[in-house]
Structure 1
Amino acid sequence: MFVLRSILFAIVLVVVTPPYALFGFLTFPLPARMRHRIITSWAPLVNWFIWHLLGIRYRVIGAENIPAGPAVILAKHQSAWETIALQVIFPPLCYVLKRELLRVPFFGWGLAQIPGIAIDRKAGKDALAQVVEQGRARLGEGYWVAVFPEGTRVAPGTTRRYKIGGAFLARRAGVPVVPVAHNAGEFWRRNAFFKRPGEIVVSIGPLIEVKGRKVEAINREAEEWIEGEMLRLFPHHYAANGGVAKVLSGAGEEAAPRS
């Protein structure tokens, strides 16, 4: 059954996304906040199909930790699911994304109309400056900023070195960090066409304050909470590795176990 559901979901995306993206592109004369509201309405629509067609539900724990004002979200990254769902959980939200994505036909054209943080990853250290400059502007406009500190999607039970960009932005902007753990990769794996039904648990951690702290300490606290929460909530992900996470190198190979 999940095979048929996955095929139908793919058809839904093909039918819905191009006209939605084209419509989004045509919103360019409108104010930025209105463009964002119109274009990101795609997320709850698709999330409805994820819930009712794919059978992938989700529940949030720790919602009381969500602050009243915008903050930097540092989230686990396992699938495409969280790029959709976080927009529903933390509106209005923008992402740090690769500038090349804005050139993707239809999808990128619509994405370009949403206030976001588009960076050139080839810029090296200048990419961090781009994140801070654009990120402070978005936070000042009232948007949440979501960052995936591992840099790319990782399989359940694994992790990568947490990059400091999100923590650096939070420190420079003077806003707190909100750590987020979840098990989306258990049902929606990286680059997998077929998705399996189940319940995703999204855990929102206590605010991490940044005032008077070093960036490395902020980043380390976020990493320790996220990885600790992953192990607490989803111990079955780590059983094959003796109850610890596999730490992946930049090439995607296992480097060392995390104790």
Structure 2
Amino acid sequence: MAFIRSTLHLLWMLVTVVPWALVMLGASLRLRGVPLYWMAVRWLCWAVDGARVLLGIQVRVTGMEHLPQGTTSPAILLVKHQSTFETFLMPTLMPHPLAYVFKRELLFVPFFGWAMGRLDMIHIDRRQRAQAFNKVVEQGKRLLDQGIWIIMFPEGTRIPRGQQGVYKSGGTRLAVETGAPVVPIAVTSARCWPRKAFLKRPGVVDVSIGKPIPSQGRQPEELMREVEAWIEAEMRRLDPEAYSKTRTDAQVSPARP
């Protein structure tokens, strides 16, 4: 059953992303900015709704009241990254447009990447580290001034369920540079949609939004340690089974010579 469900959802995404990407490309000839962004979010809603109907994946969100209020209130969202699901989900939940910081190679993904390239996002070349961060700061300031929130995955890549990646300080460096608060977010997506897995399972994905953490007067590394501590503690609260299994596996694994 899981194979059939997963196949149907993949087909659903394929048959909807191609025509909608073409619509986006056509609309981008006359639309820009926020209106085009909300057009893109419509397809993401279809992907999330498809996961609910076809895969049996429910979403439970807590902490929405913690999000900054006001049409131009800035925020930098720092999100736990376990699967593709949260990249689809976050724009459907947030009251502000989001700008992802992502590697430019994604722009070459047929249809999906082409449509993404028409949006006001921050795509970087990771080989040019200093220049890449300067671009993030320059574009980030402009987008935050427009009321667009920046979203980043501080671990940099999808992390298997029950594990912890290396938290990089790029997001908190941007926060310190711009004065925007950071909002830590824990997501248990791998419970249902494992990293790099075709088979998905029904269940509940918890999204927990923490209180904004001011960045003014802080050091990026110290601020990131606070973000990391909150996210990882919250992950263990939301998904204790995954982390207790990780600890058990570590205890029974033989030491390497």
TM-score strictly above 0.5: yes
Alignment-derived partner of residue 167 in structure 2? 162
Unaligned runs of 5+ in 1: 246-259
Q: Does 1:27 align with 2:27?
A: yes
Letter in 2 for 1:94: A
Q: Equivalent of 2:76, from 72, 81, 85?
A: 72
User: Cα RMSD over matched residues?
Assistant: 1.7
Q: Which has the higher helix share?
A: 2
- Paired AA for residue 167 in structure 1: T
TM-score w.r.t. the length of structure 1 is 0.91
Tell me what 2:209 maps to. 204
CA-CA distance at 1:172 after TM superposition: 1.1
Bigger Cα displacement from structure 2, 124-133 vs 75-84: 124-133
Match of 1:185 among 168, 182, 190: 190
Give the share of equivalent positions with the same residue, in percent.
42
Helix, strand or coil for the counterpart of 2:184? strand
Residue 235 (structure 2) aligned to one of 227, 230, 233 = 230
Shift of 1:168: 0.9
Alpha-carbon distance between aligned partners in 2 of 1:232 and 1:183, rounded to the nearest angstrom:
10
Task: Give the letter for the 1:192 counterpart.
Answer: A
Higher strand proportion:
1
May I ask how many residue pairs the two structures share in their alignment?
Answer: 246
> After superposition, where does 1:212-223 map in structure 2 within 5 Å?
212-223=217-228
Residue equivalent to 1:171: 176
Verify: 1:12 aligned to 2:12, yes or no: yes
* 130-139 vs 54-63, which moves further: 130-139
Partner of 1:51: 52
Amino acid at match of 1:16: T
CA contact (8 A) 2:163 2:246 kept: no
Normalising by structure 2, we get a TM-score of: 0.91
Which residue in the other structure is 2:40 paired with?
39
Query: What is the alpha-carbon distance in structure 2 between the residues aligned to residue 41 and residue 134 of structure 1?
Result: 25
Quote the offset at 1:57 in angstroms. Answer: 0.4
1:49-90 C-alpha deviation (Å, 9 max, x unpaired):
111111100111111111112300000000000001101111
Q: CA deviation at 1:40?
A: 2.1
Q: 1:43 & 1:100 partners in 2: Cα distance?
A: 20
Q: C-alpha distance in 2, partners of 1:240/1:93?
A: 34
Secondary structure of 1:78's partner?
coil
Partner-residue secondary structure (3-state), 1:238 = helix
Which of 105, 114, 123 does residue 118 from structure 1 map onto?
A: 123
CA shift, 1:32, in A, is 1.5
2-structure distance, mates of 1:206, 1:39: 28
> CA shift at 1:192, angstroms?
0.9
Which residue number in structure 1 is paired with residue 254 of structure 2?
A: none
Deviation at 1:244, TM superposition (A): 10
Asked if structure 1 preserves the Cα contact closer than 8 Å seen for 2:61 and 2:208, the reply is yes
State the secondary structure of the residue aligned to 1:242: helix
1:63 is aligned to 2:68:
no
Give distance in 2, aligned partners of 1:241 and 1:37.
39
Opposite residue 53 of structure 2, the aligned amino acid is: H
Task: Give, in angstroms, the shift of residue 243 of structure 1.
Answer: 7.1
2:32–2:119 CA contact under 8 A, matched in 1: no
d(CA) in 2 for partners of 1:41 and 1:187? 22
